[in-house]
Structure 1
Amino acid sequence: MTKRRTVLAGATAVSAATLLGAAPRAAAADGTGTGTGTTTGTGTPATSSAAQKDARDAIRKVNADMRGNYAALKADLAQRLSPMIVVTNTATGGQFTLVHNGTLETVQPVPEYFELAKSIAHVPLGIYSILAQYLANKVPNVPNAARIDAHDLEMVAAKGQADHSWTTPLTNFQTTLTTARNKLTAANLPKDLQDSCKFILDEAVHYIDATLHDQAFDIASFDVFSSRVYPRIRTNMVFASQAQISGIEGQLQKWRTKLGDAAWNDLYVVVFSIWTTSVLNQASIIIKRCMNQAKVDSHLIDVPTAEILSDPIAVARDNLARIVQDNVAAEMVFAADAEIATALKGRQDLLSEEILNQLGTNGTADPAAYTGIAGATAAGKDACPWHQARKADRISA
């Protein structure tokens, strides 16, 4: 069976020329494949530039029409997808929307103390965010110095220690912390959480007092403060985690009862999160174990974003429609080649396999590893993570 990889590799002019023992001619700037253009026996161009443009536009229209048909299918499918849960990560533990047979139900199921516990746990980050620009831009002599990128630090610590503009925002933040500390008892938090928050706030106010008095700070002194409060921050994290688990699982059980087990087994879930929290996302971890385990790998979709979306439902429908129709198309369009079908169903660009194959490497920057198009071997294929996974599947089978 002819593989897509074989067709592409065999069609390259450089590869063919090398196999025949002839040096390939330099490609022209217009992409015709020669430096002088194709000519007739009389030495005149075989086609005029206008005819060539018309021909190329006709070829481009094939793809344009395909994309139009693909978009029409996606738009129609997007409105039918059901049941689906759309999750947007928020400071309050997440907004959850159930989309089912044209209806929407939106809830924020996580108890309030999730947000409160995290709020106080963020105190050290709040202080650091004020002081960061005014740090020395040289890597400090701290235990984890090897993990700090010198250029990254230079970019962050742009203002330097000679600038004392930090005093005003730090004083303002101290006022915020003091107010929270004075009103903490009235918040009626669980005792262990209240005690933890009290300790963090007291230590933070004390650290800011000393910093304002000295009109100086460094990462070493900040590390002393953050190390003192870290065990209590872990306490807050325990309370926040318990709140999120109980809130999300309770809501999912309500929706499962509402839908029935048959519909629940076909549930789609799209989770939006900021890129920096998209791996081992909180909501995804909890939701995953509540879904049909036979379908969770294909029906739980994590989508990293740069910012909170203004219309997460529309974006979820669009993304999920693309995924669902590609899953079906993969097995229909490439029914004769399971490997290519698997690639189309996943996040891999179909052409990436061939690029790795042509380079003969796994994308390393070592020029010695690159052997050229004609010399490309199975090294690129073997280095490809997708192919490694496929090999593992065949071995386990």
Structure 2
Amino acid sequence: MATRRGFLGTASAVGAASLLTGQSVSPASAATTGGAATDETAARNAIRNVNAGMRSHYATLKTELIKQLSPVVVVQNNAVGGRFTLINGGKQVETVDPVPAYFELAKSIAHVPLGIYSVLAAYLSDQVPNIPNSERIDPHDLDMVAFKTPGDKGWTAPLTSFRTTLQSALTRLATANLPADLEVSCDRILGEAVRFIDASLKAGTFDMVSFNRFAATVYPSVRVNMTFAATAQITGIESLMKRWRTLIGEKAWSDLYVTVLSIWTTAELNQASIIIRRTMNQAKVDTHLIDLPTVETPSDPIFVALDNLARIVQDNVAAEMVFNTDLKVADALKGKEDLLSDEILQQIGGSAPAARTAGFGTAARSGACPVTGHTASV
């Protein structure tokens, strides 16, 4: 017996249509129907080509604009307080890690409680622990994090290994040549951490009450480390900005663009942005300081920064040229709003949610950066 698939594969279009609909279809009408479908597809493709053409011209303008952007400072947030690159006249002038080393060292020890938590978290009870402010913990979030079977002892090996790391830092701390107060706070954090781990390993168990007690004990010392880290970053960044300002001159500096790359979790009130904005032309800082959150650290941050900055700059001009009869839409094109967002909100009778943080940065287009010569994508 012929299947429907087999029959349609061998029957003529006219015969198949007649069989399935019970109606007689003439060859001429079938040709007309097929022609109409073809015409519709061609028409829709022609319409799509309009957008494709726009995007092609837009990309060409952006590629050429990247070469004109100047002066620009690109900031890559990293473990040592930030990597800063100055671009002037279309050339990469200098790349510097300006923050003193004790920034990284202070933060390293301040992260000890988080390091211990990261080992233990998967082995927590699936109930919200009876600790202060426990109501702030979403029970479902906790259930997602605490995915190990109750009673699983898999935490002992990694915690023992981390203890060895902490003990090594504690033993060598005195020869690290840290500022006196920073050395004292680091000693307290490391010592208390080793004691908490020893007690947990000896008991063969742990709970969040005892961990919170440990975290509360070292918190004042963590704050000391945070103070030292902030001071180091402010001193290093402001000193570099002052030197670069002298290098390129006041006129060029007044038009400076700064693009700060960070991951989403550190994008709002980014530490580098807070410091840099004080050194910029205050009349332009709100439009020329760009915080660019990314999903992950890009392989070519200079290209990603310039690619996105070019998009922002050309949209700023396009907004006033294309939508000069509707300033609200113009502002949307110049900002982070989607052009259809206001229309959608009106149609569904909703209102825009309060912005908690900046959205993800625009993904970089593939292509070679004219400054670095590299090809990259986010």
TM range, normalised to the smaller chain?
0.7 to 0.9
User: Structure 1 residue 93 and structure 2 residue 69: aligned?
Assistant: no
**Amino acid of the structure 2 residue aligned with 1:316:** A
* Alignment of 1:224 onto 2:213: yes
1:24 is matched with: none
Match of residue 395 from structure 1: none
Gaps of 5+ in 1: 1-41, 365-382, 386-397
Note if contact 1:197-1:232 (Cα within 8 Å) is conserved in structure 2.
yes
User: Which residue matches 1:50?
Assistant: 38
Q: Given that residues 340 and 350 in structure 1 are in contact (C-alpha distance below 8 angstroms), is that contact kept between their aligned partners in structure 2?
A: yes
Deviation, 1:141, is 1.4
- Pairing 1:120–2:109 present: yes
Once residues 190 and 34 of structure 2 are traced to their aligned partners in structure 1, the CA distance between those partners, rounded to angstroms, is 81
Matched, 1:178 2:167: yes
Q: Higher mean Cα deviation, 110-119 or 147-156?
A: 147-156
Equivalent in 289, 292, 297 of residue 303 of structure 1: 292
- 1:85 counterpart SS class: strand
The answer to whether residue 20 in structure 2 is matched with residue 67 in structure 1 is: no
**Is 2:271 the counterpart of 1:276?**
no
CA–CA distance in structure 2, aligned partners of residues 211 and 241 of structure 1 = 33
**Does the Cα contact within 8 Å between 1:88 and 1:272 map onto a contact in 2?**
yes
Q: Deviations over 1:36-66 (max 9, x none)?
A: xxxxxx9x97971111111111111111101
The 3 A distance-change label for structure 1 pair 149 and 252 is same
Q: Secondary structure at the match of 2:292?
A: strand
How far apart, CA to CA, are the structure 1 residues paired with 2:355 and 2:95?
41
Contact 2:71–2:257 (8 Å) recurs in 1: yes
Alignment map for 1:215-254 (pairs within 5 Å): 215-254=204-243
Q: Look up the equivalent residue of 1:54 and give its one-letter code.
A: A
The aligned residue for residue 21 of structure 1 is: none
SS in 2 for 1:143: coil
Residues 110 and 225 in structure 2, CA contact (< 8 A), matched pair in contact too: yes
- SS of the equivalent of 2:132 reads coil
For the residues of structure 2 that align with 1:194 and 1:303, how far apart are their CA atoms?
35
- TM-score, length-scaled by structure 1: 0.79
Asked if the contact 1:356–1:384 (Cα under 8 Å) also holds between the matched residues in 2, the reply is: no
Q: Is the 8 A contact 1:133 1:159 kept in 2?
A: yes
Contact 2:192 2:218 in 1 (8 A): yes
Deviation at 1:363, TM superposition (A): 6.3
Tell me the equivalent position of 1:189.
178
Q: 1:103 aligns with which of 74, 91, 112?
A: 91
Aligned Cα root-mean-square deviation (Å): 1.8
Any idea what SS the aligned residue of 2:259 has? strand
- SS in structure 2 of the partner of residue 347 of structure 1: coil
Cα gap change, 1:384 to 1:162, in 2 (>3 Å)? closer
> Deviations for 1:319-370, whole angstroms, at most 9, x for unmatched residues?
0000000000111111222222111111111111100111112269xxxxxx
1:169 aligns with 2:158: yes
SS of corresponding position for 2:98: coil
The separation in 2 between residues aligned to 1:108 and 1:160, in whole angstroms, is 44
Give the C-alpha shift of residue 103 in structure 1.
Answer: 2.3
Shift, 1:161, TM fit = 3.4
Unaligned stretches of 5+ residues in structure 2: 1-28, 357-378
Q: 1:329 aligns with which of 308, 318, 336?
A: 318
Q: Report the 3-state secondary structure (helix = DSSP H, G, I; strand = E; otherwise coil) of the residue aligned with 2:182.
A: helix
Mean CA deviation greater in 174-183 or 305-314: 305-314
Counterpart CA distance in 2 for 1:147 and 1:295 is: 39
Within 1, Cα distance between the matches of 2:150 and 2:88? 56
Q: Per-residue CA shift, 1:356-388, capped at 9, x if unaligned?
A: 111112269xxxxxxxxxxxxxxxxxx999xxx
8 Å CA contact 1:353–1:384 kept in 2: the answer is no
Deviation string 1:155-175 (CA, Å, 9 cap, x unpaired) is: 110004311011111001001
Deviation of residue 102 (structure 1)?
2.7
Whole-Å Cα distance in 1 between the matches of residues 252 and 34 of structure 2? 62
- Work out whether residues 137 and 160 of structure 1, in 8 Å CA contact, stay in contact via their aligned partners in 2: no
The aligned residue for residue 81 of structure 1 is 69
Indicate the residue corresponding to 2:304 in structure 1.
315
**Secondary structure at 1:266 match in 2:** coil
1:180 alignment partner AA: A
Contact 2:69–2:90 under 8 Å retained in 1 = no
Identity %: 61
Q: How many residues align?
A: 325
- Counterpart of 1:303 in 2: which secondary structure? strand
Q: For residues 189 and 309 of structure 1, what CA distance do their matches in structure 2 show?
A: 33
Counterpart of 2:36, as a letter, is S
The alignment partner of 1:159 has SS state of: coil
